A and B are shown apart, each in its own frame.
Chain A
Amino acid sequence: MESQDRYRIALLSAYALALNGFETLIPSPIPWLKPGLANIVTLVTLHLYGFRAALTVTLIRTLLGSLFLGTFLGPAFFLSMGGGIAGTLAMGLITALFPRLFSPLGVSLIGAFFHNMGQLFLAYLLFIQRIEAVLVVMPILATTGILTGAVNGVAGRYLIEAIESREGMSPPSSGGDILHS
């Protein structure tokens, strides 16, 4: 991994962490119902720098995010990390298999869906172990996944567009410029 990549990953992780922390300030009717704004960063990272960078950013975000918020090694931490990995894997897989099929919006929808389903599956395995509880929550999580996935996808698309147009003006070798260092 080049030092420039490390720099990018560190910067992107910082953005993801900021969004992660910011969204805890947004009031939500259900505590675990969050917009998942950090997924915008995962989406952008995946689109611009590939799967490994996206997964690294997600892992750093969930790990440090849980340390910042005080949920490290608690249930929320495992669910957050499991969901993050599931979502990133799904998004990476879909872009690897069908690179031009989906726009960032579609990729984000898939990511949000698998994030929620992965999280639910993990919650079932680790904490709930009641299929009826999972069945009740599943449609709700699917609905919120569609909503947040769409919103994040649109946000990610504009971000990617902005970064790419900037990249077009300046040579891509000056990687720091892309994310306004």
Chain B
Amino acid sequence: MSSERNKHGVTFADRALLVSLVLLTAYCFVFTKKAMPQGSEVKIEVSGTLLYTLPLSHDRTVTVQGPMGATIVEIHAGKVRVKASPCHNRICVHQGWIDSGAVVCLPNRVLVTITTPGRQGEFDGITG
């Protein structure tokens, strides 16, 4: 046993290693949180054309023009809804706030989907 060991046999290098590993891990946590795309994206399509790609984390209200008129889509507090629609049955409006999946308004041909960036064409889970 070398002289630098204490009675538990733990060396200075052990402690230094433990501390640096803990720091590295903490940095890892912070780094991955920053590097990860913040939440998801809201995509608004009308008649099959992508009009908007918006971050779900930023509150915003947009108005899109469909064949029947203006549909108002509102993003608030990480959720999205169709606020107003010119269609008759207003299924889209009644669906309310969603944080995953999609809202579809067939009459006005508006499609609001929530996706994770970089994961196009692959469905992890669909609700609604």
Interface size class of A (residues with CB under 8 A): 20 to 34
Q: Which residue of B lies closest to A100 (CB)?
A: B2
Asked whether A103 lies within 8 Å of B29 as measured between CB atoms, the reply is no
Segment of A19-27, A75-83, A142-150, A169-177 in the binding face: A142-150
B106 within 8 A of A: no
Flag if A102 contacts B28 (CB, 8 Å). no
Q: Quick one: given A142-B24, A142-B25, are A136 and B32 in contact (CB under 8 Å)?
A: yes
User: Given the interface contacts A103-B5, A103-B10, A146-B25, does A135 sit within 8 Å of B32 by beta carbon?
Assistant: yes
**A157, CB-defined interface residue at 8 Å:** yes
B17 and A109 form a contact (CB under 8 A):
yes
Given A132-B118, A135-B32, A136-B36, CB of A103 within 8 Å of CB of B25: no
- Does any Cβ of B come within 8 Å of A101's Cβ? yes
Which size bracket describes the interface of B in this complex? 20 to 34
The answer to whether the Cβ of B96 comes within 8 Å of any Cβ in the partner chain is: no
B68 touches A (CB below 8 Å)? no
Q: Is A11 positioned at the interface, with any CB of B under 8 Å from its CB?
A: no
CB pair B21–A109 under 8 Å, yes or no, is yes
Q: Mark A145-176, 1 if CB is under 8 A from B, else 0.
A: 11000100000010001000000000000000
Footprint of B on A, CB under 8 Å? 98, 100-106, 109-110, 113, 132, 135-136, 138-139, 142-143, 145-146, 150, 157, 161
